[in-house]
Structures are given as structure tokens and as C-alpha cells.
């Protein structure tokens, strides 16, 4: 399982970032992040791949994520549809959009997102 396959409940996601669960929920309300209910408890969870650990200042939310979510949300995508789009392999990108963003390929991901609208 890669980091883009693993899901974290809100408290664990927050711990990884060194922020509070309340802050993660705020980011969800702002649509800077998207989550879905998963597992037996139907707890809100986020893909671990949303966390960028390559930054010198420590773990952070993948910087290109918010803008891509905004493009898709402005195009009418629901949070669930945004998650599916980010995590499903794209023929155009040769990988998942999330993996492409993690590789630094923001522009091709945004073009692919706009093509979905």
C-alpha cells in the first residue's frame, strides 16, 4: 500500500500535521481538504497522500491540493467526486492525479481537472 492508498481518520491526520483536529475540520469546511466517511464507524477520513512530508519545515498539506479541489468544486464536483477523481488512475497523466501532484506536476493535473468540467 502506498501513501496515496492509506486513509487516516481526522485526529490521526491532524497529529501527522502537528495541528488540531478542529483545524482539520475547519479546512474541510473551507474545502481546502476533502474527506469521506469510511470504515465500520463511518468516521471522516482523508487520504494520507494529502500530506507532504518533503518540506523542510515539517509535514504540511500538499500545497497544490487546495487549488485543484477549488477547480473541481467550482465545476460542480461533490467532495466524493473530487476524491474519486484524485485517486483514480488517469490515462492522460499516466498515474493518479494525486500521485502526479506529489511529483510536482501541478499544471498537467489542473489541465486534466479543467477537461473534466
Q: Rounded to an integer, what distance in angstroms lies between the CA atom of residue 71 and that of residue 73? A: 6
List the domain boundaries for the chain: 7-115
Residue 1: predicted pLDDT: 35
Global pTM?
0.92
Residue 105: predicted pLDDT: 97
In the chain, where does DSSP find H-type helix? 10-17, 21-29, 65-74, 79-87, 97-102, 106-115
What is residue 93's three-state secondary structure? coil
Reported as a pLDDT band with limits 50, 70 and 90, residue 56 is confident
Mean pLDDT over 43-65 rounds to: 93
Given a cut of 80, whether residue 19 has pLDDT beyond it is yes
Amino acid at each position: 500500500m502506498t501513501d496515496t492508498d492509506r486513509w487516516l481518520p481526522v485526529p490521526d491526520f491532524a497529529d501527522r500535521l502537528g495541528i488540531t483536529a478542529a483545524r482539520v475540520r475547519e479546512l474541510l469546511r473551507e474545502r481546502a481538504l476533502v474527506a469521506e466517511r469510511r470504515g465500520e464507524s463511518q468516521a471522516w477520513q482523508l487520504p494520507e497522500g494529502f500530506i507532504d512530508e518533503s518540506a523542510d519545515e515539517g509535514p504540511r498539506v500538499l500545497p497544490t491540493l487546495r487549488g485543484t479541489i477549488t477547480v473541481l468544486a467550482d465545476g460542480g464536483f461533490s467532495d466524493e467526486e473530487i476524491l474519486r477523481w484524485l485517486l483514480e488512475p488517469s490515462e492522460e497523466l499516466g498515474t493518479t492525479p494525486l500521485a502526479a501532484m506529489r511529483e510536482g506536476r501541478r499544471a498537467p493535473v489542473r489541465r486534466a481537472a479543467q477537461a473534466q468540467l
